[in-house]
Amino acid sequence: MKKLKHPNLIRLYELFQVSSKLYFTLEWGGHGDLLQYIRLRGALKETESRKYFREMCFGVEYMHQLGVVHRDLKCENLLLSKKNTIKIADFGFAREIGANETSKTYCGSAAYAAPELLQGIPYTGTIADIWSLGVILYIMSCSSMPFRDANIKTLLKDQKDKLHIPSSVVATLNSSLKELMKKIMCFDLHKRFMMREIKAHAWFHKHGSDDQPADNNDNDTHEVAAETSGTKS
């Protein structure tokens, strides 16, 4: 994690061990996590969800370019800085991977997991991360989960079916946004959007948004210490 330095990733400032415990000094996400934010405000306006989604994509793309996959992207692991910039956090399941390497380890939360991961099929970590981004985009836009996650069978059935948009927001969501969510959360892996296709999509660039990551000077000045007595596999 120390090598990851990007304005949309939580910074690790220091790591040290005392006895059997590891201590981390991390950048502070001053405005809490994205799930809390959505629960407070409900479905976000399209301009706001686009801003946050773009920042997530910039951060995830940077990680993937360095050969690192997160494997636990979810709203609770996306923090907001004091300037409301997305900061990807919690790298407990993250790992380095080779260019064509697949993983068999089940990681993260089922509600955000790609179909191949739920089915126990060896999966590409970068593709699984992108599926999770699609789930997060849906939650920001609809203020609800895209799939029922009471059990894996039901979850997989919902993933195979046509993506359901809640009646409370269906009339207000842009058709381009609906299309993008469907393309990212496409059950067929070979038809699913990858990062280059997401970034080329019309909704991603709507209103001529600047195609640059957040300002490097947006780091919160506070630091927070965390501890753990073990590491995730």
Catalytic center residues: 72
Phi/psi of residue 131, nearest 5 degrees? -55, -45
**12-18 and 95-96: which strand pairing?**
unpaired
CA distances from 209 to 16, 192, 203 (A): 41, 24, 10
* Distance of alpha carbon 153 from the chain centroid: 23
- Contact at 8 Å (CB) between 7 and 25? no
d(CA 70, CA 91): 6
Which residues fall within 8 angstroms of residue 63, CB to CB, at 6 or more apart?
4, 6, 9, 69, 70, 88, 94, 129
94: Cα within 13 Å, side-chain hemisphere: 20
Q: What is the three-class DSSP state of 223?
A: strand
Pick from 141, 206, 134: nearest CA to 169 = 141
Crossing angle for the helix pair 125-142 and 46-65, to the nearest 10 degrees: 170
